[in-house]
Structure 1
Amino acid sequence: MERCSRCHHLLLLVLLLLWLSAAPAWAGTAPVDVLRALRFPALPDGVRRARGICPADVAYRVSRPAQLSAPTRQLFPGGFPKDFSLLTAVRARPGLQAPLLTLYSAQGVRQLGLELGRPVRFLYEDQTGRPQPPAQPVFRGLSLADGKWHRVAVAVKGQSVTLIIDCKKRVTRPLPRSARPVLDTRGVIIFGARILDEEVFEGDIQELSIIPGVQAAYESCDQKELECEGGWRERPQRQPSHRTQRSPKQQPPRLHRPQNQEPQAQVRELGAPQTAARPGEGSRHHSAPGVSPPQ
């Protein structure tokens, strides 16, 4: 009887070890505050504080010279999660069509990205090269570059990606990736730019987080009010009740755009993203800064 009990315990131990060895590396991944990880609170070059969605909120105004990047493994030491939520609160320069975030592999392949503008584009490419460019999700008819604040949630789960804007618009697109997708964390993650691309993000950003699982994306509307306390949310002041000559509507301040700023033609060392001339549309492989292909 005692021998059977020992055998039973040994079998349970073996099964536990097998389960742990089969568990994905991202199983213990914690939520990542991308803005903090990229040192936004320290106000690096091209970044300054600005008023957020509500008067008490702190946001960051990003101008064209801003260059912010970090090794992906520094943000995701346990691996990038298979299913995840991407949350952001952003106000892009009107008419902008530029990336908000881009993740490169060690070989310089764009694996993940969210592009703001009209339309909104979501990029995802796993270790098998899926989905191919024609199947990359595009959210036509939606714009995130109208000069207004927007709360955006992206939920990636299984074979689909869902985009939620201001808790009002929810659109789901197919994401035909492999059954066990993996994103390489030996590369670099870049804010607001792509390698060898002249388009860069300009505007205000208050939040940018990546959280394992999709629950955070779907619950973000329950946890955050779109309207600020007291009913203020970047709207014109109330007009006086008496009938007098009305003053023109108050417009939100124009986003600062530095003059005479030219995109850089060469890629800087790791720790600073870069902007340069746009390559052909079909090109997806670039040399990530400071990242060497594995031996």
Structure 2
Amino acid sequence: MSECLLYTKVRGDYPVDVLRALQVPSLPEGVKKVPGFCTSRRSSSPDHAYRITKKAQISAPTKQLFSGRFPENFSIMALVKAQAGLQAFLLSIYSEQGIQQLGIELGRSPVFLYEDQNGKPAPEDYPLFRGVNLADGKWHRIAFSVSKKNVTLLLDCKKKMTRPLPRGNNADVDTNGITVFGARLLDEEVFQGDIQQLLIASNPQAAYDFCEHYSPDCDSPLPKTQAQDPNTYVSNSTTQQVHTQTYEIYIFSS
């Protein structure tokens, strides 16, 4: 008897779960499971996170996260506790030619690095968020909303800062390269700390809804789609199915 599984998308795209796509829940070298943001959570089990150490080397082809075109307007959302004093990249996406096209830097006055297919904006014009420290040894809910020629940082569900993003029209991010977690190539400093969520959504509104829909306070249950237990980890072969909210699974036997 043989079985064939057919996955059918039913409704709505769900954000790409970057940690799953990069196999972080399978606990590669330099990663271990630790308590997360909420040590007790209403109507559900306590949160858990992943502690990333210097030994961790985590990367994958970007196609493993995005089978199609990278969205022009999007959100990047993270629930993270970086080691105090850190100044390092949480995420880097490189083109096929090895150019860093997207990067989220944690630390003091963090930078949102973005470079489209035509090299815009120039490095001196990368959005900079002065007066913010994303690496103070505390948990932070961090969400970036990229819409047209602006990027907005929403920090801890209350602070909002918008900066210009002088990119070109029809800006594109190459998905034929690699995505690196916790580092930028050739940088000595790497991310160290705990991370519970890292999501990329194909719309800029998701960042504004992060605290309500994806990372609620401890008096609310976590959305079921955010269960990140390694025991329910989805392997590479089904990574693309992680991105949708609901599936119908048909089993054919012969």
> Does TM, scored on the shorter chain, surpass 0.5?
yes
Match of 2:129 in 1: 139
Aligned pair partner of 1:189 in 179, 184, 193: 179
C-alpha offsets along residues 110-133 of structure 1, whole Å, 9 cap, x if unaligned?
100000000111000000100001
Q: Structure 2 length as normaliser, TM-score?
A: 0.77
Match of residue 22 from structure 2: 38
**Where do 1:125-204 residues align within 5 Å?**
125-204=115-194
Corresponding position: 1:77 with 2:54? no
**Contact persistence 1:61–1:204 (CA under 8 A):** yes
* Structure 2 spans left out of the alignment, 5+ residues: 1-11, 40-45, 221-254
TM-aligned CA deviation for residue 227 of structure 1 = 4.0
1:73–1:79 contact (8 Å) kept in structure 2: no
Mapped partners of 1:30, 1:51: distance in 2 = 25
Distance (whole Å) between structure 2 residues aligned to residue 108 and residue 225 of structure 1: 33
| 1:229 Cα deviation after fit | 2.7
Aligned residue for 1:111? 101
SS at match of 2:194: strand
Aligned-partner Cα distance in 2 for 1:189–1:92? 20
Residue 167 of structure 1 and its aligned partner are, at CA, apart by 0.9
Name the SS for the 2:163 alignment partner: strand
Q: In structure 2, the residue corresponding to 1:195 is in which secondary structure?
A: coil
3-state SS of 1:139 partner: coil
Could you state the TM-score of these two structures normalised by the residue count of structure 1? 0.67
| Structure 2 counterpart of 1:120 | 110
Distance, in Å, in 2 between the alignment partners of 1:64 and 1:45 is: 10
Deviations 1:133-180 (A, max 9, x none): 111000000001100000011000100000001011100000000011
More strand by share: 2
Question: Which of structure 1's runs of 4+ aligned residues deviate more than 2 A?
Answer: 28-31, 221-227
* RMSD after superposition: 1.6
Q: 1:19-72 deviations in whole A, cap 9, x for unaligned?
A: xxxxxxxxx976210000111111000000011011200100000010000001
Q: How does 1:1-16 map to 2 (within 5 A)?
A: none
Alpha-carbon distance in structure 1 between the residues aligned to 2:71 and 2:153: 18
Change (3 A) 1:173 1:160: same
Q: What residue in structure 2 maps to residue 286 of structure 1?
A: none
Contact 2:78 2:143 in 1 (8 A): yes
After TM superposition, give the deviation of residue 97 of structure 1 in Å.
Answer: 0.2
Equivalenced residues, count: 203
Report SS of the residue matched to 2:134: coil
Q: Which has the higher contact order (CA 8 A, sep 6+)?
A: 2
Paired residue for 1:47?
31
Q: Which amino acid aligns with 2:136?
A: D
Structure (1 or 2) with the larger CA radius of gyration: 1
Task: Work out the CA distance in 1 between the residues paired with 2:14 and 2:123.
Answer: 30
| Structure 1 equivalent of residue 218 of structure 2 | 228
CA gap of 1:68–1:87, structure 2 versus 1, over 3 A, is same
- Letter of the 2:76 partner, please give it: L
- Structure 1: distance between partners of 2:173 and 2:14: 16
Say whether the 8 Å CA contact 2:81–2:193 is kept in structure 1: yes
On the 8 A contact 1:29/1:78 being kept in 2, the answer is: no
Uncovered stretches (5+) of structure 1, i.e. residues with no partner: 1-27, 231-295
1:224 Cα offset (Å): 5.5
Q: For the residues of structure 2 that align with 1:155 and 1:200, how far apart are their CA atoms? A: 24
Measured in 1, the distance between the counterparts of 2:209 and 2:219 equals 20
Retained in 1: the 8 A contact 2:89–2:183? yes
Q: Deviations over 1:197-227 (max 9, x none)?
A: 1010000000001000111111123335664
